[in-house]
Amino acid sequence: MPPAPPAGLRHNVPLAPRTTLGLGGAARWYLEAAHAAEVVAALRWAAAEGVEAVVLGGGSNVVVADAGIDGLVVRLGLRGVERRADGGAALVTAAAGEPWDPLVAATVADGLAGLECLSGIPGSAGAAPIQNVGAYGREVAEVLEAVRVLDRESLEERRLAPEACGFGYRDSRFRRDPGRLVVLSVTFRLEPGGAPVLEYPELARAVAAGGGPPGLERVREAVLALRRSKSMVIDPEDENRRNQQSVGSFFVNPVLPAAEAERVAERAAALGVVADPSEVPAFPAGGEGEEERKLSAGWLIEAAGFRKGERRGPVGISSRHALALVHHGGGTTAELVALAREIRDRVGERFGVRLRPEPVFLGFGGGDPLGG
């Protein structure tokens, strides 16, 4: 006998209001899951019914197709934060549905070093390891202790160590194979009374400008100020952000072998974008083996001829940051994707660099959502 539909199951639920882009169609079936058992019941029912199941977190890094999702969308609402000592470290475990920035704020207030540079990032704790979120010289992978997951094949819970998560730059095994594991909680290893990491030059300058010792609170304030200046914080006081819905950075900064990065810089000079190849912003990527350089996707977009604030009807480029594509209201996902494709293709034609989208695309049926 097939399992009964899980309690709370709803039909034809709009997804646009549940994403920071405000775009996309409806879910054929939708469920808010507050406990792991509800996730299991929902996945079991979907499997029995032959219905595709998609797991949604805070909706801050997803692009939903205009046609919506012809299946079940399970939104993770698991909550709770626990802390325990482990030698001289503090292990902080957050359920997948915990909002990310309040979690960071709490660790900073408690004097626990490790997450302060990741302040102001929208979304949930469960999404952090999926994207291996990072900012201002730090990544989640650097402070991760373990991830508790639900195996969608066996419907059993597992605990994964960091080395089992397949982390890369804004990447992980969870992102590469979204149909296999559901993140239920994340545990971070933080340092009580530790000093903040100030390896990122822009952040170091901002902190130094304030004077005094660079404590965790100061670093968090500086990070938030920098993100606000780029409209990268969901802030009701930011008129620019209210009128420009987005997923934050739409493209990942490309990481290239050093020789290839030099060719890009030389091409920029030959095109007259810069007077000298050394003017093209490039940073050590910290990879193993062949030396790699990280280029600025935002710089490449502007160098390809796009302007901050440029619009294509109801969608466009943020007036604060070229890396953020925005929705001004009344638009469609197809219009946003068309703009993203135009940007990617022109950057590729001009500099020979193929930009990779950062958000997760839902309801597009696989393949390259930008086409080509």
Exposed, middle or buried, 74 (CB in 10 Å: 0-12/13-18/19+)? Answer: buried
282: helix, strand or coil: strand
Is there a contact between 83 and 106 (Cβ–Cβ < 8 Å)?
A: no
251: helix, strand or coil: strand
Residue matched to tokens 């001004």: 328
Q: Tell me which residue of 86, 80, 66 sits closest to 19, measured CA to CA.
A: 66
- Active-site annotation, residues: 170, 249, 358
Is there a contact between 303 and 289 (Cβ–Cβ < 8 Å)?
A: no
- Residues constituting the chain: 372
192: helix, strand or coil: strand
Query: Residue 114 carries which side chain, given as an amino acid letter?
Result: G
Q: Tell me which residue of 279, 314, 313 sits closest to 296, measured CA to CA.
A: 279
